[in-house]
Structure 1
Amino acid sequence: MPQPIDVGSILGGRYKVTGRILASAENDVILDGLDQVLNRPVSILVAAVENSQHLMQSAREVATGGRVSNVSILDLGVQDEATYLIASRTSPAELLDLVVPTEPAEEVYQEPFFTDTLGTEIFGTSRDPAPVDGPYVYEDNSPLTPGEPQPAVSKKSPPATAPATAAVPAKKISPAAAVVPPLAAQTAAAPKVTLWEQDDYGPLEEDGPETAARPAGTFPAELRGNDIDDSYEDDELDDDDVSNAPRTGGRWLTGALFTVLLIGALVFAVQHIGTLFGDTDNQAADTTTSAEAAPSDAEQTPSAPAAPAPVAPVIAGITDITAYAPGVQNYGEAYFPRLQDAFDGNKATYWPTVEYSGADFAGLNTGINLVVELAAESDISSVTINQLTGSGGQFNILTNSTPGLEGATKIGSGSFSAPDFTFTAPPGVKAKYVIISFTELPRLQPFVTYPYGLKITEISIK
């Protein structure tokens, strides 16, 4: 059954249908559209009547996160009894997935109400089908031991009197053993730690007066090895220590020499200080005379002019100077106000051209020429062109001092193989106007009427 929504329709007061992409076997239609408020391309899915409920259900699930989808839904509505969905640019396969209903979720098993407590099967018995009332019941109405008979509770009162002490059976004691009261045992027990007397450590020093006066740094006689000569006396150690002691005689000698040198330097300075001042005055007079006689280097050598600072290009405006055929003149002029969208810094807006049936402008004109006016003559290093959905085509990049093709200098050319194209200019290029002359149109996908044209989103010059 044909859909009432087709090319040229306005959906929701803002979305214009600009092209037809495809139709499924169930009569679901994918359309190309334009958001006239935000001036951006969108994709439109118009569901068949039997799939309208599926589309609405899928849209709700995607919005609430219950269904995983790469489709970014912008709007959903009904027009002429047809349900449509507006989304950002999306592949047709992903859009058609939304009309396929999701499988119903499996029924979730609900546990019985009494299984929130500890089951009796843990203790080796099977679970009771339902709680059984008993004498001990928790607050959640589940019995302590469901289904099990409770033992009878004795209600006999305790006896009136009770013996003060309980009889303790006699314990046989062997004769190798004796009964000692606890306190007495602690008192009679020998201490666990015994203090050592000084004699227990042994002699600390060797016998004799010589050993007691042994200087530090010498080994005791019993620790000396067999290879050490016992005749080595402590007096020899003392002599060595004295011989190795630092000497102070050298310091006195050094100080005396330094004093003599200092006195000699002072005498020399006093004798020659007058001569130094007199020579200084003469040298100053000679220097002044030489400076007056000889011209300075600054007067002889002229200063070199400083290199001008590079001027960054700033786009002041873009003009379409294309010579359109009379049949398309009005259509071309209708897009002139949107030329400002080609340098506003926003890639969501674009400047379109008239659509042609062939890449050679269908024989209606020889090319499309855009003149980019700069605020001042600037140094140009690169030119970047951003466009929508176009591939192929051919264009030249020229510079000129006037806003026209006459006398312009070609600095490069290019073709569209991606949404963005950047041309690097040769060094030293300066210009007031940059001209982009399209000699062959790229192919658009999708398109409204004819497949060849331009959709320029941004032109930037650095």
Structure 2
Amino acid sequence: MPQPIDVGSILGGRYKVTGRILASAEDDVILDGLDQVLNRPVSILVSAVGNSQYLTQSAREVATGERVSNVSILDLGSQENSTYLIAARTSPADLLDLVVPSEPAAEGHDAEVYREPFFTDTLGTEIFGSARDAAPAAAAYVYEDDTPLTPARPSPAVRRAPVRPLAGQPAAPPAPTAAVPATPAGPRPVPAAAPAPAAATTATPKVTLWGDDDYGSTNDLQDASGDGGAARKGGTFPAAALAASDSYETDAGEAADDTEEDTDDDTDDGNAPRTGGRWLTGIIVSVLIVAALVFAVSHIGGLFNGGTVAQGDKTTASAAQQSTGAQATSAVPAPAAVPPVIARLTDITNYLPGQTHFNDMFMPRLPDAVDGNKGTYWPTVEFSNDTFAGATDSIDLAIELKQESTISSVTINQIAGSGGQFNIFTNSKASLDGARKIGSGSFSAPDFMLKAASGVKAKYVIVNFTQLPRLQPFKVYPFGLKIAEISVK
């Protein structure tokens, strides 16, 4: 049964069908395609109507990891009652495996996935030598973090670390604790409280108080003036320190005075008059005055020469006339630009003597390259090398415009090609003889645009392919052209 999806179709708004690979006995078709957004080749599987559900199920199983496959799925969709799958380039056998339904689970075998029991948190007890519980115990004690306490994990006994006594203090006996055996469902053991007289005797002060002897004699705190009076009050600076401060201030003042004197000496040296700069300034001013006097005398003398003045008037009048003429010329509006409109596309390739015109078989599809639809394209035959296999030196396409127009840009849209080399010419006839080259380029993306210099006008635009790009994918040979659209603006 023929498929509605064929070469030239666009799937999902971005995947273009570029070739047909094979069709299975059940009418499942494998196609070559191109991701026009990322410019990379893809494989396309269009399933038969009866296999659509199997393709959808297999794609979901591969995406979720339930089914092992070598296919890297990129997209899945439906168009014109046909289900298609977009994948990275892969073999047709792997693609056709996806339309085969998954085998059901064998009878007598449990196909349910094994699930770990909920009490696997007791596995740690098995690591340390105890057997893991078969099930959690009923009414298990619950920690503050809501973790159940099972019989395999008894509550640890609470012990209090002894307090190390300070130096000079008697060691206090540890407080007695009541040993309570741990039970799975019972409350957590609590240490027995020590008697209140016992707490008073064993309490150890955290701060050691100083005695009167620790502060030293009051003579150390008396004023250093020697009057033998009462102890110095808080906030009073000692006299000995004040004396030391006075001596420091005196020394510092003397040093500052010495520094000021040195600074004054340096300042005086710096402010000393420099006669060299004044002499240079005087010479420059004198030269300027002399030049001004010479200029003034020469112009004053010209005032008394009537002929010179009359000749100057004539020169001024001539300059005014030229300025007026230039303004009148600039006021004339420039001719309006004529937008180019394509009339037809012609193959003007010159084949070498004795060589077959290979592209004649695709001549009926030549108008597809200028029909304004990127979904259609004009191809050439596939060549074994990028120099046209010795059949010609170049492939030349002449775009005829309805009238001579202003050319601002030329855009070439191609499919699945990279590299190559081409030149773009303008001419008044469909020939390279006497043509003017306006640019050149190579294919590194699906679209190529050449911006022409300002003021280019022509009746014909000629694209001269001197080297073929490499096709990916290809059927037999890897070099050729697939021109989707050529536009001139």
Give the alignment's TM-score, normalised by structure 2.
Answer: 0.41
Higher RCO (C-alpha under 8 Å, 6+ residues apart): 1
* Structure whose alpha-carbon radius of gyration is higher: 1
